Each structure stands twice: as C-alpha cells, then as structure tokens.
Amino acid sequence: MQPTLLILAAGMASRYGSLKQIQQFGPSGETIIDYSIYDAIRAGFGKIVFIIRENFAEEFKEIFEPKLNGKVETAYVFQDMNAFTDGFEVPADRTKPWGTAHAVLCAKDAINEPFAVINADDFYGRDAFEKMAEFLRNECKSDRFSVVGYQLGKTVSDYGSVSRGVCEVNAEGNLAGIVERTKIEVIDGKIVYEDGDKKVELGPQTPVSMNFWGFAPSVFEVSEKLFSQFLEQNLSNPKSEFFIPIVVDSFIASGTGSVKVIPTSSQWFGVTYKEDAPGVQASLSALVNGGEYPDNLWK
C-alpha cells in the first residue's frame, strides 16, 4: 500500500488568498509546497491530503487541482474548531486553531494507511521524503512511528534567531524526547541558544525536528483520547494549543511504542524572516541547475 502525505495548510489562507499572493521561488513560479508534493510523488506517496480551512476550499483547489490532476490522488480535510470537542463547549472568544495535533486528528476519516505529516511552507528535500517513504512502507506499525531528524546547522537562519525542537536520541536511534530550544542563532561561527542569561553551544550535527512525522493510523485513537484530556485542562486558555509533540511524548512515555529518528542530510528551507527569501530562491535555483529538479515541475 502506498503511503499518504498529509500537508498542514489550514494556516495558509492569508498566503493563498489569490495567485498573486503565492510566494514564488522556483524558475517557473513554483512555491515551496510544490516541491514537497513533487518529492513525495517521486518517492512513492500515493495520495496527498491537504488540511485547509473550509472557507478557503474552492480557491485552494483551483490552485492545486490543475497541477496535480492525473499525477496523484488528492483529498481535502477541514480543520474545524468544533471537531472532536464532544462534551465540551468551545468558548465564544476562542479564535486560535487547536494546534497541529488537532489538525492531524481532523484527517482521521481520510487516511487508512501509514502516512507522513509536513508543514505546507517548509522545504524538506528529496532525501527526507525517500527515507520517510521507505519507513512507512516497511517499518511503520501501530507501535512504531518516526520523525525526520535534520542537522541543526542546515536549519538556522542568517538573519535572526529561531526556535527548534532538539531531538534526544537513545542508543537504539529512537526518540527519547524533544526539548524546545529558543533563540538559536549563529554567533562568531558557532550555533548557540539562550538559556537564561547564558549562551549554550549546540553542534551543527545536532538532530532537530522540523515537523516531518511518520505515523500509522493508530495515532488517531491516541490523539483523540489525549485531545479530550487536553480540553479538560486547557479549554478556558485561549492561547493553548494541542501540538504533535504532546501526542508523541505521551506515546513514548506510556510505553505504547517507539519513534524512530530518521537522519537526513537534506537542507531545510523556510522563510522565517523576509530576508531569507532570496536565499531560498538561490538554493532552489542551484538544485534545479544541478539537475535535482526540472525547470518546470508540472509541465
């Protein structure tokens, strides 16, 4: 069975309000999300599921259906504020979505096979997709999930600090936990993060999560139970969010299963700062010129 790719795109309405508002990086106007889908298809993913907002569905489909029609199966899922909140009344002043793990949970009825999860606007690289596809086909089980571990040095910005989930990896190559490190930046050639009033150095090879996960459908049952607990504790907090690492940490801590850390040498791209954009465009141009991608992905 071919794995599915689940793309978290519910927060992209402002960026995809019209064709003119799409950030174009490729030589034929490709966006970052186009490269992720292209890499997924050639790695053997058989279906793309987009998590989007219902009020933006038709415009979103108009953007992607002409590109993908006949190339891969597509499906669209809505992240609704009231989804999976049975027994709880969502506060009237709650406007913030419930978070990435809730977004994944909203795809419960659309996915019955092993699947990967990515952010819509991050560039993950061919190597990462190929390794994830292999894991999903051959290793993924109800008690065996995965996360792609990027080299920290390939995820930092030259224009300001970033936050990263640093992976703690045990002797078996499995995830022991994720520690959120904030204000990571390059100073005098060294990567450091802020810890109180101290600067602590991290090696460039340090594995970090960039929200590229591999799951079996059993994750939905785990997530649904945890989301109910989350609502009991956080319903009245308008800023609370149910993140994927919450589910993963519980999965590991409870002894339910293990999470393999898949190392990749891929360069991660993202536009954390507007100054990052020219660098992303230049990096993609170099990959195209080197033959990694065609001049026009969907021609």
The structure tokens listed for 165 are: 């989930």
Burial grade of 140 (CB within 10 A; 0-12, 13-18, 19 or more): buried
Instruction: Write b or e for each residue in 107-122: b if 16 or more Cβ atoms lie within 10 A of its Cβ, otherwise e.
Output: bbebbeebbbbbbbbb
Question: Could you give phi then psi for residue 274, rounded to 5 degrees?
Answer: -60, -25
Cα 61 from Cα 10, distance rounded (Å):
13
Burial grade of 27 (CB within 10 A; 0-12, 13-18, 19 or more): middle
Cα 81 from Cα 241, distance rounded (Å):
12
Model pLDDT, residue 147: 98
51 within 8 A of 8, measured Cβ to Cβ:
yes
Instruction: Tell which residue, 195, 176, 191, 197, has the closest CA to residue 248.
Output: 176
Model pLDDT, residue 12: 56
Instruction: Tell which residue, 187, 200, 212, 204, has the closest CA to residue 270.
Output: 212
**N residues, the chain:** 299
The structure tokens listed for 122 are: 């991050």
Per-block mean pLDDT, blocks of 10 residues, the chain (299 long): 93 46 80 94 98 86 91 95 92 89 97 96 95 98 98 91 94 96 94 93 97 98 97 92 96 97 93 80 95 95
* Residue type for position 126: R
Q: Say which residues have a Cβ less than 8 Å from residue 20's Cβ, sequence separation at least 6.
A: none
| Residue 86 CA from chain centroid, whole number | 27
Cα 179 from Cα 241, distance rounded (Å):
17
